[in-house]
Structure 1
Amino acid sequence: MKITRISTQKKNTERFNIYVERDGKEEYAFAVDADILIKYNLQRDRELDDDFVKEVLTAEERQKAYRLALNHLSYRMRATSEVRKHLLEKEMPEEAVEHAINRLTEQKYLNDEQFAAAYVATKKATTPHGPGRIRRDLEALEVPKPLIEEALRQFTSDEELEKALKFLRQKQKELQRRSVRELTQKLQQTLMQRGFTKEVSAEALRIAFEEVDQDEGLDAAVYQARRYYSKYRNAEAFEREQKTKQALVRKGFPYSLAAEAIEQVKMEEDE
């Protein structure tokens, strides 16, 4: 084969179509990136053999994978596994993918250590997640465990507690409408799902409930009493009061607080 013509692609001026003469006729052979065109000195009238063409096409696949990866990285930092997955989804050959990964790693465009540190810093500043959730996310991105643990060192125990408390304080209205016993298990489970340790979750709950004073505890009981007293409005007076009181106790309110709340609701109804 001999190159008869080289033309620039209309949609991408950095790529070139190579035409060759075969059996006395000109035909399209392949397309290459500008860097490959220069590297292999592809020009008109150059003779090509099969081994040389195979080498050029291998280099072209590697270059294409590299450029796809660079474009993927241009939007934000990414873990190595994210880039590999992206290239495979673009149906790039595995050899070209690994070559691109190695090249980007050598050039420090890919660095899982830096990625993990930046990921932890961002999630710590912008999300209500604790270190456990962030660890799970990084593990899902196949970041090596030693790099994950090193990155999580920036998440101190005091910061973890403060973040858990911030989440609970956002639930202030809920804390004012339900009993401590009813909410404790639910909120502790929620905190642990968000990546906070069991110990930190328990301590945050203790502090948060201390911040809810006795008056707010009565407000929560009254709020629930109104609901149940209305629910049982068709019952006899004594039965209505007893059913309401039982419902409040089941929700975790102390008996004395339930009784006080019911008396307040009865007074409201009499007014």
Structure 2
Amino acid sequence: MKEIKIIGLKKSKSKYIIETETDEYNVDDDTVIKFQLFKDRIITENELNNALSYYHENLYFNKSLNYLSYKTRSVYEIEKYLQKYDLDENKINSIICRLKNLGYLDDLKFAEGYLDYCFRNNKGPNYFKNKLLEKKVKLSYIEKVLKKYDEETEKSIIENVVKKEARKLKTYPFTKQKQKIITKLIQNGFNYESILEIINKFSFVDESDERLTKDYHKLLSKYQKEDLNNYLIKQKIIKNLLSKGYEYEKILSKLE
């Protein structure tokens, strides 16, 4: 087997440059130590290839660590990240295995951390489950962690969201407030039955009179510019304001 003599070893920033009689190779300090790549040492071509392969894996292992430093990620997310570098499957699996063994990758812990995120950001159990399925976390892990998201916890979070949103929406009619809040809660992954239970018990404040007046005058001005008789103008205004959630009696009071 061909033998290669190392004729030089130079430090270059965070890397080392190995010099042979025919070429130069970049490696890191871990590779130098592991394969004893010191000046004047004679190694086989196979040893050199193994060292370079190890360095190449180390390079993307460290890239993965940096990627994980921003936030915790699932195994699938790291696989997708490494695939963009066109690494072969064996190398990706090796890096994933190292990350798991060192505790940097753990889908069960990832799921537990993501549940905490959902609690902090008012996300429902369906949001949690769907997001983790997208990240290819095992269903058994998802279901295990979801046991901590019981019905009482869900209703408590829904109630807090309803209180907060209702304060912001009090200038809208009661019906529109409910509609907006229900839509928001469904989009955030809460169960419809739990939403309705809290919504139906909540006392909404309707301070929409000023908004109704503004909407009425805006519509009146719009339709008066069209070639319509008073009856059609009135019907169009009623239809439009009803679609905005205003009560029929309140609308009629503006038309009198």
TM (normalized to structure 2)? Answer: 0.79
Structure 1: which amino acid aligns with 2:185? L
Q: Is 2:141 the counterpart of 1:147?
A: yes
Cα distance in 1 between the residues matched to 2:81 and 2:235 = 64
| Structure 1 partner of 2:19 | 19
In structure 2, relative to structure 1, the CA distance for the partners of 1:219 and 1:88 (3 Å cut) is: same
Query: Residue 231 and residue 43 in structure 1: after superposition, are their counterparts in 2 closer, same or farther (change >3 A)?
Result: closer
How far 1:77 moved relative to its partner? Answer: 2.1
Residue 43 of structure 1 aligns to a residue in which SS? Answer: coil
Letter in 1 for 2:139: K
SS of alignment partner, residue 154 of structure 1: coil
Measured in 2, the distance between the counterparts of 1:95 and 1:238 equals 76
SS in 1 for 2:12: coil
8 Å CA contact 1:178–1:224 kept in 2: the answer is no
TM-aligned CA deviation for residue 78 of structure 1:
2.1
The corresponding residue for 2:131 is 137
1:163 alignment partner in structure 2: 157
Shift of 1:47: 2.6
**For the Cα contact (< 8 Å) 1:2–1:47, is it kept in 2?**
yes
Gaps of 5+ in 2: none
1:105 to 76, 94, 100: 100
**Corresponding residue number in structure 2 for 1:260:** 253
Shift of 1:173: 4.7
Q: Secondary structure at the match of 2:105?
A: coil
Q: Deviation at 1:54?
A: 2.7
Unpaired runs of at least 5, structure 1:
21-25, 264-271
Choose 1 or 2 for highest CA Rg.
1
Whole-Å Cα distance in 1 between the matches of residues 36 and 72 of structure 2?
35
**What do residues 53-79 of structure 1 show as CA deviations (whole Å, max 9, x unaligned)?**
232233223322322222322333222
Q: Which amino acid in structure 2 is aligned with residue 79 of structure 1?
A: S
RMSD: 3.1
1:206-221 mapped onto 2 (5 Å cutoff) = 206-208=200-202, 210-212=203-205, 216=207, 221=212
Matching residue of 1:73: 68
Q: Distance in 2 between matches of 1:49 and 1:250?
A: 81
**1:198 is matched with which residue?**
192
Secondary structure of the 1:3 match is strand
| Residue type of the alignment partner of 2:16 | F
Q: Quote the Cα distance in structure 1 between the aligned partners of 2:209 and 2:91.
A: 68
Show CA shifts across 1:22-78 (max 9, x none): xxxx22242322222222222233333232223223322332232222232233322
State the partner residue of 1:268: none
Q: How many residues are paired up?
A: 251
Distance 1:217 1:206 in 2: 20
Residue type of the partner of 1:158? E
Deviations 1:102-161 (A, max 9, x none): 122112121111111112102321x24222122222222221122122223333323323
1:119–1:70 distance in 2 versus 1, CA, 3 Å: same
> How many percent identity over aligned positions?
24
Q: How does 1:205-244 map to 2 (within 5 A)?
A: 205-208=199-202, 210-212=203-205, 216=207, 221-222=212-213, 224-232=215-223, 243-244=236-237
In terms of mean alpha carbon deviation, does 163-172 or 26-35 score higher? 163-172
Tell me how far 1:221 sits from its aligned partner: 4.9
Q: Of 12, 20, 24, which residue of structure 2 is paired with 1:10?
A: 12
- Partner Cα distance (1:18, 1:250) in 2: 75
Q: Normalising by structure 1, what TM-score? A: 0.75
